């Protein structure tokens, strides 16, 4: 079974509008962390936002927020007020309890295009 599922291969959004990128995860560990990364065409992976499994509130970082629904195992990324520079690949990732030796899992990504 896939650990991280991103069902939207490509998304389009009008500049200045908000967009939600979907991510669901699969784990039986009670302790885990969820991440979103941005990868522009230049190739570098840029960290955007983090949510710990015990965090009570949804994480926010500037225009990025993570809609964490633990019971549904969902960790959607919301980008508000989209900018042309937001056009990139976006990856959802999960880290299970590192004490059990588990690794980092990445989804297959969503390509976001911001339309002027």
Partner 1 sequence: EAGVVQSPRYKIIEKKQPVAFWCNPISGHNTLYWYLQNLGQGPELLIRYENEEAVDDSQLPKDRFSAERLKGVDSTLKIQPAELGDSAVYLCASSLGRGSILSLAYNEQFFGPGTRLTVL
Q: How far apart are CA 22 and CA 79, in angstroms?
A: 11
Tell me: does residue 64 bind partner 1 (CB under 8 A).
no
- Backbone angles phi and psi of 46, in degrees to 5: -115, 125
Distance in angstroms (rounded) separating the CA atoms of residues 110 and 61: 19
- 101 lines the binding site for partner 1 (CB under 8 A): yes
Least Å distance between CB 4 and partner 1? 8
The residue (of 50 and 74) whose beta carbon lies closer to partner 1 is 50
* Closest-CA residue to 92 (of 27, 29, 42): 27
Q: Smallest gap, in angstroms, from Cβ of residue 19 to partner 1?
A: 19
Q: Please, what is the Cα angle at 17 between 10 and 90, to 5 degrees? A: 35
3-class DSSP state of 62: coil
CB of 116 to partner 1, least distance (A): 25
- Per-residue binder mask for partner 1 (CB under 8 A), 29-58, x = binder: --x-x-x-x-----xxx-x--x-xxx----
Distance of closest approach, residue 43 Cβ to partner 1, in angstroms: 5
Q: Which residues touch 101 (CB under 8 Å, ≥6 apart)? A: none
Query: Which residues of this chain interact with partner 1, rule CB under 8 A?
Result: 4, 31, 33, 35, 37, 43-45, 47, 50, 52-54, 91, 93, 95, 97-99, 101-109
């Amino acid at each position: 079974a896939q650990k991280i599922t991103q069902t939207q291969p490509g998304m389009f959004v009008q500049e200045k509008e908000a967009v939600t990128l979907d991510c669901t995860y699969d784990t039986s560990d009670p302790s885990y962390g969820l991440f979103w990364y941005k990868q522009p065409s230049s190739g570098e992976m840029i960290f955007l936002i983090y949510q710990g499994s015990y965090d009570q509130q949804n994480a926010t970082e500037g225009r990025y927020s993570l809609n964490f629904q633990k019971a549904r195992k969902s960790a959607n990324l919301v980008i508000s007020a989209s900018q042309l520079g937001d056009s990139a690949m976006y990856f959802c990732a999960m880290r299970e309890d590192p004490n059990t030796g588990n690794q980092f899992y990445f989804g297959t990504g969503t390509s976001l295009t911001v339309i002027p």
